[in-house]
Structure 1
């Protein structure tokens, strides 16, 4: 990648090297990933460690530090939404005993802001803070179906990443699916991310009626949809009412 010129740009480029798939990185990894010389990377890393934005592990590699987490939870939108959503997510988990997720849209990504799980819930890939493409998950389909037209068009025009043989990878199929989501007011993502699971998702609306988030339950592939769909939709409606929505 082309290295940014400003100090702030360099710092963000370095931090962007870390992902859910690469939560730790060596100094060389960071240098290659952000396009900076090793000496420059070393100086920048040293400052970020001093500021607690990064932490140095015993093996010499680096990970995201607690200071960034402390700042992240101060974000007014996500903090308020998460705090108000947790009681409803807990109720949804108690009813279903499966993985419960809350997500928002960040441009063309699904951003997971909360997740509840239990010892008997099926194993899934996503964690709080993870991102996935909008077209491939239940919450993503809900968010995309209710996104502005230009956002939908950008997704339809771009490549649709394939995760499994059942992932939606054509614009025609995605357009048809989004129309169905808007009509039904819920989404089902059937084995698009993993062949062992599927998700059922419902929208969360604010006082103006805008879809600001989505809730979902991820269940084993053989689970009957009707055993979880009413609970997911009820959770979405209850949280919407908490946010001031009055249909």
Structure 2
């Protein structure tokens, strides 16, 4: 039964945030009476919310996710650096970590432009389609890169890198520069620059800035991104405590 409930929850994505029961039944392949019974239980638990005839993920899931200790601690330690990065650029900034072959976004601070971005807090995107993902991938070892390149590469836009040779070349450039770039590969009209964050010699996260393509300037953004990532890495390396006393590193 838990597997079936999980199938329902996994239907919700940044692109499709609400469903009718019939749509959930089609998405999961489960009988409609089963979906009706399970969604009623999920609503009772607060994991799903009902609005009229439509269902969406509930706030309880966000609350549970925020209790994951290591990620919560990382977000709290990183937040001042994200705020500094936002102040320096006035653009949308992200904090992301790797989960398998995807980026999971722990925090996002919006810039003044209302960019249409696929990233959302708690949401995930393919590593190869984002600057955050490339920054994580480039410094996480050859084995992970080969695992990713052994599979069909996802495409979110016509400019997403689906040729393994192009992804490999992008990662090599990232390793040399210490910065990863993404040009309209996750969403059209937006470019991004990211830098890895290290703790104990391991890549634990990446910070990024996303801007409208026509306003992208590596010369303007790179120093701020690099400075924020180095500062956060230093704090994590020293294992400083967060405000609530939790320790990271």
- Normalised to the residue count of structure 1, the TM-score between the two structures is 0.91
Q: Is the 8 A contact 1:97 1:120 kept in 2?
A: no
CA–CA separation in structure 2 for the residues paired with 1:125 and 1:19? 10
Greater shift, 235-244 or 183-192, is seen at 183-192
Seen in structure 2, the aligned counterparts of structure 1 residues 232 and 30 have a Cα distance that, compared at 3 Å, is same
Quick check: 1:221 aligned with 2:213? Answer: yes
CA–CA separation in structure 2 for the residues paired with 1:113 and 1:23? 18
Alignment of 1:32-181 (within 5 A): 32-57=26-51, 59-120=52-113, 122-181=115-174
Seen in structure 2, the aligned counterparts of structure 1 residues 9 and 123 have a Cα distance that, compared at 3 Å, is closer
Partner of 2:196: 203
Q: Is the 8 A contact 2:21 2:36 kept in 1?
A: yes
CA–CA separation in structure 1 for the residues paired with 2:17 and 2:64? 18
Partner of 2:180: 187
Q: CA deviation at 1:120?
A: 3.4
Q: Structure 1 regions of 5+ residues with no counterpart? A: 1-6
Partner of 1:10: 4
Partner of 1:63, secondary structure, is strand
Partner of 2:24: 30
Q: Is the 8 A contact 1:141 1:187 kept in 2?
A: yes
Q: CA deviation at 1:123?
A: 4.0
Residues 6-55 of structure 1 deviation map (CA, whole Å, 9 limit, x = unaligned): x1111111111111111111111112222211111111111111111111
Q: Is the 8 A contact 2:93 2:111 kept in 1?
A: no
CA–CA separation in structure 2 for the residues paired with 1:56 and 1:192? 34
CA RMSD, aligned part only?
1.6
Seen in structure 2, the aligned counterparts of structure 1 residues 195 and 32 have a Cα distance that, compared at 3 Å, is closer
Residues 160-205 of structure 1 deviation map (CA, whole Å, 9 limit, x = unaligned): 2233343211111111111121122111112222342211100111
Seen in structure 2, the aligned counterparts of structure 1 residues 210 and 245 have a Cα distance that, compared at 3 Å, is farther
CA–CA separation in structure 2 for the residues paired with 1:13 and 1:141? 29
Q: CA deviation at 1:122?
A: 4.2
Aligned residue pairs, count: 238
Partner of 2:204: 212
Q: Structure 2 regions of 5+ residues with no counterpart? A: 240-249
Q: Is the 8 A contact 1:138 1:189 kept in 2?
A: yes
